Structure 1
Amino acid sequence: MGTAERRGTPGEDLGGRPTERRGPGGDRGRWETAGGRGERATERGGGQAGSAYRPLWIEEEARRRRMPDPVRTAAVRAVLIISVTLILAMVAFLCTMAETWLAFPMVLSSIAGTVVATWGALDVWVTRQVWNQRNGVVSAPSSTARALRRERRKSRRQAKSATRAQERIRRRGAAGQLSHS
């Protein structure tokens, strides 16, 4: 539809019929009536008949779980430290190339920054390990750890029921009963 044909009110052409509107991202095939209610329609401009409005993106499930808060803060801190260290190293290199007096202090500071950046990266790793130890790792249903826990629970229940049975037998023997009455 050319610009000369779009003189009516938005949502209607001159004949009072609904006109084509472009959706987000320039998609064709979405039109609105004068009442403003959006409906799906086929393309008008000689394209494929029957194509419906396509969304701009499709939401998918996250592949991984979100990182725990302490690990995420350590990771953000490490990224900031590493980026500052890279900037210091670049400035040190440029100062060395320009042969300015600032070159030596910048080289020293970039060496110190490298040490701190290494500490930051190790901090992320240690924080993650500590969090996993304290809060446990989510195990899959087929995990061997889960099967071992199930077996331990079963053996504990059996041991408990055996001790209870022994206690009942002892109590009955102390009362002098030989059978239920």
Structure 2
Amino acid sequence: MKIISLNIGEKRTIQWRNKIVETGIFKSPVQEAIYLDTELVKNDAIVDRKHHGGIDKAVYAYGGNHYPYFKELHPNLDWQYGIFGENITFDQLEETKMHVGEIYQLGEVKIQVTKPREPCYKLGIRFNDQSIVKQFWNSTKCGVYFKVLKKGSVTVNDELILLETAYENPTIAEVYHSKKQNNK
């Protein structure tokens, strides 16, 4: 797995269903390296600190291999990496094979798999279609949150190298499925 896009967003204030909403989900690709810090990606907007950022959700990654599935469902969008709100887009990401607790090297950074992303209405705002939230829940294409164990910069083409397995723990897809059942 290698990085194909690095994505940063600024805080946006938008009108949604007759109320004002602030969000950082509108991320766009950047050409320069990004710095992964202990609780966030430097220069990336985090508006909702209860659900994003922090030790266990410092960086959100998504698989470019998942894009074709959602492009088919939403063909009229202006598709670019970062549309799912991810900081890092990998060429391949398979949530059914990544276990909570696994540790990876990524460039000069060391990161640990922590949680799946749980979609909310802001993903629907980004897609201009709330049906994406249910479509997202009904797949295993949730992406992965990482804890940053060793801070540093990452660049496009850096490879995600497995350092420590955690096969005894559930996969991200299994945790996601469990959370989906609890949210019904």
Larger Rg: 1
Assess same fold via TM > 0.5: no
With the shorter chain as reference, the TM-score category is under 0.3
Instruction: State the TM-score, normalizing by the size of structure 2.
Output: 0.17
